């Protein structure tokens, strides 16, 4: 078992080289990850009674079951971060997993720079960040082979949260007397972990007293073309008009037989060395994926803004809402790629060519075969391929589209077969989204005491409870809010500085949680639970965790920066 802690840190750097935004290659979809919350510059953390507490970055370990269906397999050590800065006896325990990422770097969610900490401060609670199984350094097994990943699924993730809540002995006075029967536990999440909040409360009712779901992608969808709808609606009209006309032309040329015209399209974007035309068409999705990097605090000068300016500003004059038309837009978009954007996307010096960076057919490239731990995109793609889908492709033919229809869902599902051939001997037709939506209810969830907040401009909006046309009713106990933010904008305590609607939603949330926490009644007397080992900063094998979490640190993806 020594591999679990001493060797894990040595294995982490072996993960394949990444693109500038953290993806494994340029035709791989971005994850719906919750943004990083920086740790406040606070040299000493002091509790309400004046006790000096460990830094926010202190790592603790919990002995989590490897397989909740077979406890005899034993446990692995799951990392978590914790503070009781605002805690008073009787206060809530606020639990969050960042989901599909190494949790090192998310310690800011312990603090009052986020809704987690604001609720904790108001209600005298303690806050916890727990690392998701098979992400970061919380791994039941020492690799990410298919054999290991069989224990990565939604149900095991839910069971981890429940087992932790019911068995952890938190490192604070009375930390063994705060199980869900003794204290109100509030489960908070954003994006995938926001969905996990809803799914856990559906699947294990009565464990978590209340929940907060920011941009929770509750509905599994295979062909998630709607991802680009908030982008089309929110971007400048002249830019969307010109993108649509260019994509229609690209699809027409690349699906034809005019070799000269095809080569012209490739050369226009600096992609002449690319072999497969669907990879060429798919690569252009990158400009639209950049929308996911936007936040209310982004301001001018973002990459997405630069893209639209390149298309729409000519000789110092901006196009009208109809755009400049095909000739100028095609030429300008190509120049934008050739003059810097291609180099930005394909920044890995080991894969400097467009074919190496954007091509998806060469299965000898290491990102298909690398099974070392702390490879979040491999772990995430397992979820995508098996349970949730969310493939981001062109719109149906009766709808305008910003991205090529030459990359249908089968294009992305082929990547599942290439990354996990042992699990998919043939290209899978679909992920098991029907099972996911049936078991965990998706849009049909009916939950007591959950607060959903979604963003009008969030590209993931149409997988949330605020999906266009869904008409899901908000109730006093299942509150659904649609703000004017982007992805998980509301979970930042500073969101209200940039948006009056989000300021109002955050005030509403704090008032709602005050009511819900006051309604909690313990169902077990203090002292009735058997003693449990105190969570430690030392693993069972004697590997002492550093007090500042640097183990397995990964670069922050560009689109995650600048949120707070």
Show which residues are catalytic.
191, 458
What is the helix (H) or strand (E) element at residue 186, kind and residue range?
A: strand 185-190
Tokens in use for 140? 């039941």
What are the helix (H) ranges across 226-325? Answer: 229-234, 237-254, 259-268, 277-283, 285-289, 303-312
Contact 385, 416 (CB under 8 A): yes
Residue 354 — φ and ψ, nearest 5°? -60, -40
**Would strands 450-455 and 478-483 be described as parallel, antiparallel, or unpaired?**
parallel
**From CA 374, how far away is CA 357, in angstroms rounded?**
21
Residue the block writes with tokens 């007293």:
209
Tokens in use for 319? 């196009």
SS3 label, residue 315: coil
Contact 26, 283 (CB under 8 A): yes
DSSP single-letter state for residue 40: P
* Alpha-carbon distances, residue 174 vs 94, 183, 236, 317 (angstroms): 16, 11, 55, 66
Residue 291 — φ and ψ, nearest 5°? -55, -35
Q: Tally helices (H) and strands (E) across the chain.
A: 20, 14
**From CA 159, how far away is CA 166, in angstroms rounded?**
10
**From CA 242, how far away is CA 324, in angstroms rounded?**
7
Q: CA 445, 447, 450: angle at the middle one, nearest 5?
A: 110
**From CA 179, how far away is CA 177, in angstroms rounded?**
6
- Find, among 129, 205, 227, the residue nearest to 478 by Cα: 205
Half-sphere exposure (Cβ direction) of 266: Cα atoms closer than 13 Å = 20
**From CA 191, how far away is CA 193, in angstroms rounded?**
5
The angle, 0 to 180 degrees and rounded to 10, between the axes of the packed helices 192-203 and 433-440 is 60
- Find, among 294, 296, 35, the residue nearest to 190 by Cα: 35
- Find, among 83, 9, 35, 12, the residue nearest to 535 by Cα: 83
**From CA 154, how far away is CA 497, in angstroms rounded?**
35
């Amino acid at each position: 078992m020594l591999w679990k802690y001493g060797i894990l840190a040595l294995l982490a750097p072996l993960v394949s080289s990444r693109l500038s935004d953290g993806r494994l290659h340029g035709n791989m979809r971005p994850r719906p990850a919750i943004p990083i919350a920086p740790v406040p510059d606070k040299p000493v953390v002091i509790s309400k009674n004046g006790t000096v507490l460990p830094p926010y970055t202190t790592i603790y370990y919990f002995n989590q079951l490897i397989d909740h269906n077979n406890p005899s397999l034993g446990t692995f050590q799951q990392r978590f971060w914790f503070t009781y800065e605002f805690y008073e006896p009787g206060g809530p325990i606020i639990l969050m997993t960042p989901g599909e990422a190494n949790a090192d770097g998310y310690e800011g969610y312990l603090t009052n720079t986020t809704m987690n900490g604001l609720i904790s401060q108001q209600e005298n609670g303690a806050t916890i960040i727990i690392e998701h199984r098979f992400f970061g350094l919380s791994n039941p097994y020492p690799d990410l082979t298919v054999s290991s990943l069989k224990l990565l699924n939604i149900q095991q993730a839910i069971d981890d949260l429940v087992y932790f809540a019911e068995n952890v002995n938190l490192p604070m006075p009375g930390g063994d007397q705060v199980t869900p029967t003794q204290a109100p536990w509030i489960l908070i999440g954003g994006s995938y972990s926001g969905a996990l909040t809803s799914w856990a409360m559906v699947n294990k009712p009565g464990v978590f007293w209340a929940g907060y779901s920011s941009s929770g992608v509750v509905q599994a969808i295979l062909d998630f073309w709607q991802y680009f709808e908030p982008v089309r609606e929110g971007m400048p009209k002249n830019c969307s008009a010109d993108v649509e006309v260019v994509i229609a032309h690209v699809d027409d040329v690349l699906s034809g037989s005019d070799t000269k015209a095809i080569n012209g399209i490739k050369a226009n974007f600096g992609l002449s060395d690319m072999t497969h035309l669907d990879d060429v068409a798919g690569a252009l999705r990158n400009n639209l994926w950049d929308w996911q990097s936007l936040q209310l605090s982004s301001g001018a000068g973002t990459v997405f803004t630069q893209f639209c300016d390149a298309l729409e500003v000519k000789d110092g004059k901006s196009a009208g809402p109809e755009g400049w038309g095909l000739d100028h837009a095609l030429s300008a978009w190509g120049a934008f790629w050739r003059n810097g954007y291609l180099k930005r996307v394909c920044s890995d010096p080991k894969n400097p060519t467009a074919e190496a960076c954007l091509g998806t057919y060469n299965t000898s490239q290491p990102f298909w075969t690398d099974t070392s731990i702390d490879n979040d995109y491999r772990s995430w793609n397992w979820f995508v391929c098996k349970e949730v889908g969310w493939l981001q492709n062109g719109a149906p033919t009766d709808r305008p589209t910003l991205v090529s229809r030459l990359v249908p869902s089968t294009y992305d599902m082929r990547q599942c077969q290439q990354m996990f051939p042992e699990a998919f001997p043939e290209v899978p037709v679909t992920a098991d989204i029907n099972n996911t939506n049936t078991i965990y209810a998706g849009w049909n969830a009916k939950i007591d005491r959950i607060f959903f907040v979604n963003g009008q401009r969030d590209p993931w909006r149409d997988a949330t409870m605020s999906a266009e046309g869904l008409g899901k009713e908000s109730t006093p106990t299942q509150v659904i809010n649609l703000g004017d933010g982007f992805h998980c904008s509301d979970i930042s305590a500073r969101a209200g500085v940039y948006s009056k609607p989000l300021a109002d939603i955050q005030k509403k949330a704090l008032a709602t949680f005050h009511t819900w926490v006051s309604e909690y009644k313990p169902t077990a007397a203090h002292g009735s639970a058997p003693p449990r080992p105190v969570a430690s900063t030392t693993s069972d094998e004697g590997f002492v965790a550093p007090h500042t979490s640097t183990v397995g640190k990964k670069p922050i993806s560009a689109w995650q920066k600048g949120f707070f």
